[in-house]
Amino acid sequence: MKGRIYLSEDRGACALIAAALDVFSHQEEVPGAREVVLWAMETGMDWSRTGWLWPAGEGSGGRSVFYCGVSSGSPIVERSLCYLMPMLGGSPLQWEFVRLQIRAPRIRSWQGLLRKYSRLSQLIREEMGH
């Protein structure tokens, strides 16, 4: 499996938006807040489970996309995942890690995400170079 993991140092809000932008990248228009929230609910995302890797679907380049909020220390999480993958029969070379600089630690609910989505998605698109 070739995968891409978005990591953000918050409850997962920024990683979620980045993953949504990737998964919806085939659309001409940027997805709206309600569309992303409904989609994220379908991925099973749970705000109380910070650190969990949520499967987002297929992104650009056919890669399986995942997203994860890690509170802090995303380089540590990335490094430990790279050590773990060979034990699981995989290779870290098959995975791309995207550590987001932007974070939104105050967003802890769907309502919070709806309120801040517009601004955050713009900042994340800028960070991703879109």
Partner 1 sequence: MRIFYYCYGSAHSSVVAAAIHLGKLPTRRVPTISEICSLPDFDRSSDQCLGMVYYKGKDEWGNPVYTVGLGSRPAVACRTLQSMIHLMGNPEDFRFYNALDCLKMMGKVGGAISRRYGFPTLGRPLAAWGVKRSYSLLVALVERVKREVRVASEEHSG
Binding site for partner 1 (CB under 8 A): 1, 49-53, 55, 66, 68, 70-73, 75-81, 83-85, 87-90
Nearer to partner 1, 81 or 100 (CB): 81
Task: Measure the CA–CA gap between 69 and 50, rounded to whole angstroms.
Answer: 6
Closest contact distance (angstroms) between CB of 41 and partner 1 is 18
Biggest alpha carbon distance in the chain? 41
Measured from the CB of residue 108, what is the shortest distance to partner 1 in angstroms?
14
The residue among 25 and 64 lying less far from partner 1, judged by its C-beta, is 64
> Is residue 50 within 8 Å of 11, Cβ to Cβ?
yes
CA distance 7 to 60: 17
Which tokens belong to 101? 């600089």
When the beta carbons of 61 and 73 are compared against partner 1, the nearer one is: 73
Query: Nearest-CA neighbor of 69 among 18, 5, 128, 13?
Result: 13
Shortest distance in whole angstroms from residue 24 CB to partner 1: 22
Query: Cβ of residue 49: shortest distance to partner 1, in angstroms?
Result: 7
CB 24 within 8 A of CB 31: yes
Nearer to partner 1, 5 or 124 (CB): 5
Residue 26 main-chain phi, psi, to 5 deg: -75, -20
